[in-house]
Amino acid sequence: MRCTFESGPIRPPSEAKSLLLRCTRNCPWNKCAFCHTYKGEKFSFRTTDEIKADIARMKEIADSVREVSWRMGLAGAVTREVISAAARNPGERGEIFAVAGWLLEGPRSAFLQDADSLVMKTDELCDVLRFLRAQFPSIERVTTYARARTVAHKGVSDLKALREAGLDRIHIGMESGSDEVLKLVKKGVTAAGHAEAGGAVKAAGIELSEYWMPGLGGRALSKVHAVESAHVLNAVDPHFIRLRSIAIPPGTPLFDMWRSGEFIKPSDDEIVAEIRLFVEELDGIHSRIVSDHILNLLEEVEGVLPDDKPRILASIDRYLDLPPRDRVVFKLGRRTGRFRVLDDLTDAGARAGTEQLMDEMGVKDDQTLEEQMTTLMMRFI
């Protein structure tokens, strides 16, 4: 069996159970100051024939895995035992695990890679979507990343055509709704451009997921970043607002700005206060706020507006009102996987383990913790 197909490097956290289909390679913009994902990589299109050949290979693998299941007397059900039996050939294991793992999770969603699939010609992307849906009728949801400028350039009628061909949701890295911040990080789009793109996606009947990056304005633009981002989102009312707190990877322009002192990264507590202001400013919308990225300190910042806003703000206040030492313990516990939510602070075992680690690392206060956190955060980028 021939089973090689391309995969890109990333997907949104919410697409962990999705089949990953690479439609273009890398990012056609590749200039955002905070982003290291495609640095040094050249953008290129893939032909529809190449993409469809990948889908056909995935289908071939799915069929062969199910055949193994039938031979094992499991009537086509995919279990871990079936996957082990199907992946005997070491040369094919990666691809078989990718497709069989998707079958195991329930093959209901697919994600189109890489950074901006909508740069493809609309009729070609529609062709790919239709072929994907035909090969895998179990798919209920197809999503992709796209840049706001590309989306706005497509326009509502092309977006509607994509919706009809089977595109259900677009993830846009808004990052900020402040023109000052967007310019600082070379996002290549304005706040008005974000609002236009978001409006077009919604007018086409496609679900819209907007990523906001707490901390991206640095200390200097923290307030304007929170307030103006909320105002853009108030104008758009996206289905999802997803938080992904700032990280500053080495090799990015933002890293150099940070090292030179041009950019001052807010502390974790300052970022939490910034998120509070952001949530406070969200008004008149019905979005679901999602905090599903490991870089976020508080998982509790989750819920549907407007009903859950008081609870979200109360969770943030609960953290900000903790005694300073408890905040340090929580931050370290969260970053080292001992804690997930604030209630975990009452877990005596996890707390004792975290406090022991604090002693071993020489963490005494916020400043020593921030120094250690910088090193730890790099592991999750």
Least distance between ligand SF4 and beta carbon 26 (Å):
8
CB of 38 to ligand SF4, least distance (A): 6
Verify binding: residue 29, ligand SF4, rule CB under 6 A.
yes
N residues, the chain: 381
Task: Check binding of 8 to ligand SF4 (CB under 6 A).
Answer: no
Hey, which residues between 32 and 61 contact ligand SF4 (CB under 6 A)?
32, 35, 37-38
What distances in angstroms separate CA 108 from CA 16, 95, 141, 332, 359, one per listed residue?
A: 12, 18, 7, 36, 46
Computed on alpha carbons and rounded to an integer, the radius of gyration of the chain in Å comes to 22
Considering the complex, what minimum distance in angstroms separates the CB of residue 238 from ligand SF4? 17
Q: How far apart are CA 192 and CA 199, in angstroms?
A: 10
Which of 55, 58, 112, 115 is close enough to bind ligand SF4 by CB under 6 A? 115
Told to check if 148 binds ligand SF4 by CB under 6 A, we report no
- In the bound state with ligand SF4, the residue whose beta carbon lies nearer, of 244 and 351, is 244
d(CA 257, CA 327): 28
Least distance (Å) from ligand SF4 to the CB of residue 21?
17
Examine residue 111 and tell whether it contacts ligand SF4 (CB under 6 A).
no
Closest CA to 131 of 218, 55, 29, 217: 55
Which residues share a beta bridge with 29? none
Residue 27 binding ligand SF4, by CB under 6 A = yes
Shortest distance (Å) from residue 364 CB to ligand SF4: 36
DSSP per position, 188-228: S--HHHHHHHHHHHHHTT-EEEEEE-TTTTTTTTHHHHHHH
Please tell me whether residue 272 binds ligand SF4 under the rule CB under 6 A: no
64 burial via Cβ count (<10 Å: 0-12, 13-18, 19+)? middle
Among residues 8, 12, 166, 173, the one that binds ligand SF4 under rule CB under 6 A: 173
Residues making contact with ligand SF4 (CB under 6 A): 27, 29-32, 35, 37-38, 115, 147, 173
